[in-house]
Amino acid sequence: MAMPMQHAPAPPSEELFVTGLPMDCTHIQAKQIFTQYGGVKQANVLPVAAGKTAAAAFIIMESVEDAKWVVDHVHGNVPQGLSNPVTVVFATPRAQRPKGGMKGGGKGGPPPEMMAMMMQMMSAMGGGDWGKGGGGGDWGKGGKGKW
């Protein structure tokens, strides 16, 4: 019997999405942590959202093999130099990340699982009225121009 799939895991690639990093983790520290396990091209620590207790980062490894090794051996474990376990998954390919939604969307926006988590948090905090219009602002009302 097939189970319904929530989100298909991302295909193996050099790009990893890591959560559970220390709040004060910098891209330099993140790169040093993962250099222990293979070549790291780039580490990009994301800004820590209000209310979060850990940081997240995109880590781009030199090869798919290095990235697979990190997912297989570091996911759920405590990397040397850290005190808590980290979650390591293959990042959703940029082309498949949802566009827009948040302010501007940047380079493809956060991965779907992060968006779902943020939406849950927003609704839990009573802020689930996105897009239903607010009381503020009179844009488009009045004015005498020929718009």
pLDDT digits over 125-135, tens only? 554 444 444 44
pLDDT in tens, 10-49: 889 999 999 999 999 999 999 999 999 999 999 999 999 8
Q: Looking at per-residue confidence, does 98 or 75 come out higher?
A: 75
Cα–Cα separations (whole angstroms), residue 138 to 84, 131, 133: 49, 16, 11
Report residue 101's pLDDT band, with 50, 70 and 90 as the boundaries: very low
Which is nearest to 76 in space by CA: 84, 85, 89?
A: 85
Under 8 Å CB-to-CB from 112, ≥6 apart: which residues?
7, 92, 97, 98
Report residue 103's pLDDT band, with 50, 70 and 90 as the boundaries: very low
Domain chopping of the chain, boundaries: 10-93
- Per-position b or e across 131-147, b if 16+ CB within 10 A of its CB: eeeeeeeeeeeeeeeee
Q: What is the mean pLDDT of residues 53-74?
A: 96
Residue 92 has pLDDT above 70, yes or no: yes
Question: Would you say 108 and 101 are in contact if contact means Cβ atoms under 8 Å apart?
Answer: no
Would strands 87-90 and 15-21 be described as parallel, antiparallel, or unpaired? Answer: antiparallel
Q: Looking at per-residue confidence, does 114 or 59 come out higher?
A: 59
CATH class of 10-93: alpha beta
The span from the CA of 83 to the CA of 38, in Å, is 20
Q: Looking at per-residue confidence, does 7 or 12 come out higher?
A: 12
Residue 123 has pLDDT above 60, yes or no: no
Quick one: pLDDT at residue 9?
73
